[in-house]
Amino acid sequence: MRREFLAVRNRLTADDLRETSAALAGRALELPELARAGTVAAYVSVGSEPGTLALLDALRARGVRVLLPALLPDNDLDWGVYEGEGSLARVQHGGRMALFEPAGERLGPDAVTTADAVLLPGLAVDARGMRLGRGGGSYDRVLARLERAGARPALVVLLYDSEVVEHVPEEPHDRPVHAVVTPSGVRRFGPET
C-alpha cells in the first residue's frame, strides 16, 4: 500500500507540488486549532510530500513557535525551533532520503509535549482517522510520548486529496488523528478538538 501511494506522489510535477503546497497552506491556516496555537510541532516536507514550507513561514509570521523534528539514530525525534528557511540543515541519514532539520539548539524528544497542535506526515488517512505513515515508527513514538505525558494537542495530517481513503491497515499502537487537510478541504474525525 505504501509503495502505491509513493508511486502516485512520484508522478507529480514541480507545478503540481507548488500549486498543492499553496492550497494546503491556505486550508491549514483556516483551522481553528492552528489559529489559537502558540506552539505547533510540524515537519519540513521532502521530495513529493505535500509541501509545508509556505505553511511553516505563515505560522511563524503569526508569531507561532514552530518546532521541527531532527531524526535520532534510533528513529526517535528530537526537536528544534524553526527560525526560517535559512535555519534548516540538510541532513543525510544513512541510505535514506535526506531531511531538512533545524540547525539550532535541540530541545529534546519531550519538547513535542508542549505543542498545541502537531502536524503529522503520512501517506494516507482513512475514514476513521487512522494514519498510514512511512513505516519507520518515528511518529508512533511521538504519539505514544504525547499520550504518556497526558498532552492533548490537535493531531493533523497533511495529504493530497487522493490519499484520504476508506481503510488503512491498523496496528494496536496506532492512534487516530483529529483532522486531515488536503488542497481541497478539511475532514475531521471524532469529537471536535
97-156: per-residue pLDDT in tens?
789 999 999 999 999 999 999 999 999 999 999 999 887 889 999 999 999 999 999 999
Of 175, 151, 154, whose CA–CA distance to 32 is shortest? 154
Which residue, chain included where needed, has cell 513505516? 135
Neighbours of 3 (CB within 10 A): 8
Give the span between the Cα atoms of 93 and 99, in whole angstroms: 8
Within-domain flag for 191: no
Residue 136 included in any domain: yes
Average pLDDT over residues 74-96: 91
Q: Is the pLDDT of residue 193 over 80?
A: no
Query: Which positions make up the binding site for ATP?
Result: 131-139
Is 192 among the domain residues?
no
Number of domains in the chain: 1
Note the pLDDT tens digit of each residue in 36-82: 999 999 999 988 899 999 999 999 999 999 999 999 999 999 999 99
Does residue 74 fall inside a structural domain?
yes
Give the pLDDT score at 191. 58
Q: How far is CA 40 from the centre of its chain?
A: 10
pTM equals 0.92
Q: Would you say residue 115 lies in a domain? A: yes
Distance CA 35, CA 19 (A): 23
Could you tell me the residue range of the domain that residue 65 belongs to?
A: 2-186
- Report the CATH number at residue 172: 3.40.50.10420
Positions at the binding site: 44, 49, 131-139
Task: Report pLDDT for 4.
Answer: 85
Residue 81 placed within a domain: yes
**How far, in Å, CA of 52 to CA of 186, rounded?**
16
Does residue 193 sit within a domain?
no
Q: Which residues pair with 155 in a beta bridge?
A: 118
The annotated binding site for substrate is made up of 44, 49
Backbone angles phi, psi at 185, to 5 degrees: 165, -170
